[in-house]
Amino acid sequence: MPDGLSSAMTIKRIHREINDLKKEDMGGITLAPTDNLFLWRAGIPGPEGSVYEGGVFNAEIQLAPDYPFMAPKVTFLTRIYHMNISDRGNVCIDILKHNWSPALSIFKVVLSLSSLLTDPNPRDPLVPSIANEYTRNREQHNRTAREWTRLYARPPAPSPTLKATPGLASRASTSTPRPSASTSSSRASSTSRATGKAKASRTATPLVENGTGRSASAAIAIDDSDDEGSTASGASRKRKRGAGGGTLISDDDDADSSGDTTGTAAPKRQKVAHGEGKRPTQPRPDEVIVIDD
């Protein structure tokens, strides 16, 4: 048969087997082609109840160019203590030799390999020493097979997953933030304004009517000082002269007006230059009224 026709038939057969695998119950077996359609990889789990239980044995299946008219070649990649499988991974099984048929498939070959792990064939051994041990000292054979399975066929244990401690995230989220530079500067500026508040005075000049029908201005001094307990040395008198010549005197420190040197604060009062007494109901044009806060 020409090579071109054989290759076309082989590729068509391989694609058909790939589609058939989607319908099969694979169990724990893995089987798929690599990037090369003529090279397949299989994973065969150790059958339950056998000495190979718990292990996974990987195998490589190489298809011939004229497959399926020629049997594939199987090589075990995982070391196994088996009388029908050599140290190099070669397999001795009848369907891969004289009992091969084009009606068989790759999946059926893998099923036969799984059965070989359960039922080895001591009549056609590939490793005679293991076959003799199997027939004469089954217990020793089983111990060695289990030990090889533990050493070479056990899948790697999954790496532990690190879990975040719940307390760490909450501590990070509720940690006290450090004050920023803008906050510190605003606090400093507000403190300096509070401690360095200056003494301010406002002067209002209301309009009053004099006897002639003309409006005259009377000067009113308002002291907004917050520092009422200043020392006697800082006290001063304010004199305002009105439009009519009258003068009103405001005492910033009652110690000066009362002559009390003890520093005891006395009620503040207003003095008018032309006399003391009851304040007129209506300010005169020539008076200056001082209101001390």
CA 133 to chain centre: 59
Identify the active-site residue in 9, 37, 92, 104.
Answer: 92
Tokens standing for residue 193: 């304004």
DSSP character for 200? Answer: -
Chain centroid offset of residue 10 CA: 54
Q: How many CA atoms lie within 13 A of 20 on its CB side?
A: 11
Any residues with CB less than 8 A from the CB of 184 and at least 6 apart, and which?
none
Q: Which amino acid is at 269?
A: R
Q: What one-letter code names the amino acid at 210?
A: N
**Nearest C-alpha neighbor of 241 from the set 260, 255, 221:** 221
Look up 213 and say whether it is catalytic. no
Q: Tell me the angle at which helices 128-136 and 138-148 cross, rounded to the nearest 10 degrees.
A: 130
Return the amino acid letter for 50. S
CB 269: neighbour CB atoms within 10 A?
Answer: 13
Residues with active-site annotation: 92
